[in-house]
Structure 1
Amino acid sequence: MNEFLKNTWKHRAHVVMALPVFLILFFIMYVPMAGLVMAFKNFNYVDGIWKSPWNGLDNFKFLLASKATFISITKNTILYYLLFTIVGTFLNVTLAIMIDKLVFKKMAKTMQTLMIIPVFISYAAVQFIVYAFISSDTGIINHMLGTSTRFYSAANLWPYILLVVKIWKDTGYGSVLYMSVLAGIDSELYEAADIDGANSWQKIFHITIPSLIPMITVMLLLSVGSVMHSDTGLFYQVTRNNGMLYSTTQVIDSYVLNAIFSSSNFGFVAATSFFQSIVGLLLMLFANTTVRRIAPENALF
């Protein structure tokens, strides 16, 4: 304890600078966790969180009440996570390398700015952009192709539509993160490769990509913790919460949001969030343990 206090005083300037961040994290991320007790209570507004009666695991039983629905939304949640993660990571890395080394080298700054813009567009606005393209009456796609496809009743098409929207919105920002790693690669490695007669593709596969693997691993490990969470704006607003699309578009988060609006059962919401967090934590621990055994230097802890 004395050593801890001595080091804290020694680095007091750094501690003071970091204190606001710690306080923000504490009050925003940790204090609200006390509300998880709602997962085990029959919450009502009169008694509030602390005085509402306990109901054990009834809220979790409600989550599992409809086995078919639970299996469907869980399957959709996991499959969309895998789809977005695999395709998104590939495109992020590819685009970062293209900008840094190949096609867009001379206009890298401009490209970075253009790619980040979609991140700041809310899904409340994105849904109108998507509607403008796929509306059955006035949509750009039907108008250009001379068709009358009713996209908002064709559930089988929405995995592709959501993938395109997700890529358009997030890929640019993701590639910028990888570009920061590319900027830190020692130029002497490329100079040595030039001396050895390596071409551009050989330098990419033997220097660039291996240098990105630690960042890719960290990003994947961090994302595993959110495997049971989905972007509510994407699945609720872009799809316009259309019941005809639920078979392929309803995920756990959008299901919970519908439950809130229909029944205001906040105990069920807390139970679902608790379930998602526990599953995410276990998956992240498993993934990190696996990475630590294979490549310890790339593990989070």
Structure 2
Amino acid sequence: MSSKPKTAELSGKNDGFWHNVFKHHAYLVLALPAVLVLFFFNYVPMAGLVLAFKSYDYTKGIWFSPWNGIDNFKFLIQSKNDFIRITRNTLLYYVVFTALGQFLNVVLAIAIDQFAFKRVGKTMQTIMIIPVFVSYAAVQFIVMAYLSSGTGIINNMLGGKIPFYRSAEYWPYILTIVKIWNGVGYGSVLYMSVLAGIDTSLYEAASIDGASKWQQIKHVTLPSLIPMITVMLLLSVGGIMHSDTGLFYQVTRNTGILYETTQVIDSYVLNAIMKNSNFGFTAATTFFQSIVGLLLMLLANGTVKKIAPENSLF
């Protein structure tokens, strides 16, 4: 007697699952291309990580090249000066770009949202998005037009006294300006989408209570943006060891004399591929980046989950 209800219950669960699959088959079909792209372009290439533990031989290919254990990782760490320099540069640029970028994204989004002339605000928003579509291959020539020793606009204004492409100390500022110019406009749009969803009755209630514009921003706008800010920071932590290769490799024109302040892990790897074609070493370097990024993201997400569980990624 008791087994029949259990069987029926299990059968009902199975029917319910396949019924839901059939019911939502249109959504599954729409999601399938994205899932396939993610699988083939993000997960299948991960098989190439075996190169990090091999001494790559062109004649034998990836799978038949001899194993060398962790020798590639040892070589990375033993090149002490290079390893310390590129790791330091990568982390410092990440902190500066993330902190300054997030701050300016939020400020710009709030400024445009509060702008009295909405049509002008939308025009400004469109103009600010344009730089993100400009390739760094083109940006390097824009930067050269300002900084080159012979014809640079800024250099001519300064009497040609500063050889920017031979002076490493100026490039942290130059790269920060270029990065902010390139990314802040697009980043602010993401926050503006959140601002557009804030219930206007909250502002009305605050205004009735006598709150000024600054108080409304402080007590209504900023708290509404905190979940989005947290998610963006958590996502960025995963790429803490990665940098924009185009920015550091192309804009600097891969000038060796600037490496002290401009070379990061990604540009170091690309340079190694171009010069030495040591794919085992480069695979070990990128594997190191990914593991560190994953661990830091898990740590950051766990911290957020303890403090504000509703803002965590998972």
- Bucket of the pairwise TM-score, normalised by the shorter protein: over 0.9
Query: What is the root-mean-square deviation in Å for CA atoms of aligned residues?
Result: 1.3
Secondary structure in 1 aligned to 2:69?
Answer: coil
Alignment partner of 1:145 is 2:158: yes
Q: Mind listing any 5+ residue stretches in structure 1 that lack a counterpart? A: none
* Contact 2:89 2:263 (8 Å CA) reproduced: yes
Q: String of CA shifts for 1:13-66, please: whole Å, max 9, x gaps.
A: 111111111111111111111111111111122111111111111111111121
In 2, Cα distance between the equivalents of 1:283 and 1:105? 40
Structure 2: how far apart are the matches of 1:4 and 1:236? 51
2:88 paired residue among 71, 75, 78: 75
Query: How many aligned positions are there?
Result: 301
Once residues 18 and 282 of structure 2 are traced to their aligned partners in structure 1, the CA distance between those partners, rounded to angstroms, is 42
Q: Is the contact between residue 150 and residue 160 of structure 2 (CA under 8 Å) also seen in structure 1?
A: no
Structure number with larger C-alpha Rg: 2
Per the alignment, residue 258 of structure 1 pairs with 271
Q: Is the 2:115–2:121 contact (alpha carbons within 8 Å) kept by the matching residues of 1?
A: no
Q: Would you identify which runs of 4 or more consecutive aligned residues in structure 1 move more than 6 Å?
A: none
Query: Which residue of 1 is the match for residue 43 of structure 2?
Result: 30
1-structure distance, mates of 2:241, 2:298 = 15
Structure-1 residue corresponding to 2:6: none
* Amino acid of the structure 1 residue aligned with 2:59: V
Asked if 1:290 corresponds to 2:298, the answer is: no
How far, CA to CA, are the matches of 1:222 and 1:119 in structure 2? 19
Q: For 1:1-301, what aligned pairs fall within 5 Å after superposition?
A: 2=14, 4-102=17-115, 105-301=118-314
SS of corresponding position for 1:64: helix
Tell whether the 8 Å contact from 1:137 to 1:148 is kept in structure 2 after alignment.
no
Shift of 1:12: 1.2
3-state SS of 1:148 partner: coil
Structure 1: how far apart are the matches of 2:116 and 2:312? 33
Q: CA deviation at 1:265?
A: 0.6
The answer to which of 91-100 and 102-111 deviates more is 102-111
Q: Contact 1:98 / 1:104 at 8 angstroms: preserved in 2? A: no
- Deviation (angstroms), 1:144: 2.4
Residue type at the aligned position of 1:286: L
Which residue identity is paired with 2:297?
M
CA contact (8 A) 1:135 1:150 kept: yes
% identical equivalent positions? 71
1:238 CA drift (Å): 0.4
Rounded to whole Å, the distance in 2 between the matches of 1:261 and 1:183 is 46
Distance 2:118 2:215 in 1: 18
Q: Distance in 2 between matches of 1:10 and 1:272?
A: 46
Gaps of 5+ in 2: 1-12
Amino acid at match of 2:23: K
Alpha-carbon separation, structure 2, partners of 1:77 and 1:105? 39
Cα distance, 1:104–1:90 mapped onto 2, change above 3 Å? farther
Structure 1: distance between partners of 2:158 and 2:240: 37
Measured against aligned partners, the alpha-carbon deviations of 1:133-162 in whole angstroms (never above 9, x if no partner) come to 111221111222334211111111100000
TM-score by length of 1: 0.97
The amino acid that maps onto 2:198 is: I
